[in-house]
Amino acid sequence: MPIYGFECTTCGHSFDKLQKLSDADPENCPSCGAPTVKRQVTAPSFRLAGGGWYETDFKKGGDKKRNLAEGGASAGGGSTSASKPAPSAGGGSD
């Protein structure tokens, strides 16, 4: 269950509440009792760090891990440099 932050706009009291997504927000301030409680927008309490997702993170088998963030051999389906189209057979103008 997520923890939400709330603030009373009357007295300025801030508090947190552990509740389900489907639960209603509290209406009255626990400090002053006024019905002026608003939900605060807060940052999550965790941070994702690292080089990125690996192609084989959720696969079974002995495949070697390749970092998809670095553009592994099979990540993009080809090279990142621009290439010219192959010449067509008998491509002369008539």
5 against 79, higher pLDDT: 5
- Counting every residue written for the chain, the total comes to 94
Query: What's the pLDDT at 87?
Result: 60
Threshold 0.85, pTM exceeds: no
Strand order from edge to edge, sheet including 37-39: 14-18, 3-8, 37-39
- Domain assignments of the chain as residue spans, ordered by start: 3-39
Q: Does pLDDT of 16 surpass 70?
A: yes
Query: Mind listing the pLDDT tens digit for each residue in 18-77?
Result: 999 899 999 999 999 999 999 998 877 666 667 666 555 566 655 565 555 665 555 444
- For residue 85, the model assigns a pLDDT of 57
- The Cα–Cα gap between 37 and 26 comes to 7
Supply angle C-alpha 64, 70, 72, rounded to 5. Answer: 45
